[in-house]
Amino acid sequence: MKHFVLKGQVREVGNKAVIKEYRKQGLVPCNIYGSGVENILFTVTEKDLKGLTDTPASYIVDLELSNGQKYNAVIHELQYHPVKDNCLHADFLAVNEEKPISIMVPITITGHAAGVRAGGKFYKLVRELKVSALMKDLPDELVINIDKLQIGKRIVAGDLKYENVNVVSPKGTIICTVKSSRQVAAHIEYEEALDEAMEEGVHHAEAPAAPAAPAAEAPAEA
Residue ranges of domains in the chain: 3-96, 98-222
pLDDT of residue 197: 74
**Contact between 84 and 23 (Cβ < 8 Å):** no
Q: What is the pLDDT of residue 136?
A: 95
Query: pLDDT at residue 214 above 90?
Result: no
Pure H helices in 142-203: 181-199
What pLDDT, on a 0 to 100 scale, did the predictor assign at position 216?
45
pLDDT at 88 over 90: yes
**Confidence band (pLDDT; 50, 70, 90) for 54?**
very high
The angle subtended at Cα 29 by Cα 18 and Cα 61, nearest 5°, is 160
**66-87: pLDDT as tens digits:** 999 999 999 999 999 999 999 9
**What is this structure's pTM?**
0.77
When pLDDT is averaged across residues 49-58 and rounded to a whole number, the result is: 95
Instruction: Examine the pLDDT at 94 and tell me if it is beyond 90.
Output: yes
Q: Are 40 and 32 in contact (CB under 8 A)?
A: yes
Estimate to the nearest angstrom the gap between the alpha carbon of 210 and the chain centroid. 29
Q: What is the pLDDT of residues 149-180, one digit of tens each?
A: 999 999 999 999 999 999 999 999 999 999 98
- Distance (Å, rounded) from C-alpha 15 to C-alpha 32? 19
Nearest to 89 by CA among 22, 143, 145, 137: 22
Q: Do domains 3-96 and 98-222 have the same CATH topology?
A: no
Residue 80 forms beta bridges with which residues? Answer: 87
CATH architecture classification, 98-222:
Beta Complex (2.170)
Q: Is 68 left (phi over 0), alpha (psi -120 to 50) or beta?
A: left
CATH fold for the domain made of 3-96: Ribosomal Protein L25; Chain P (2.40.240)
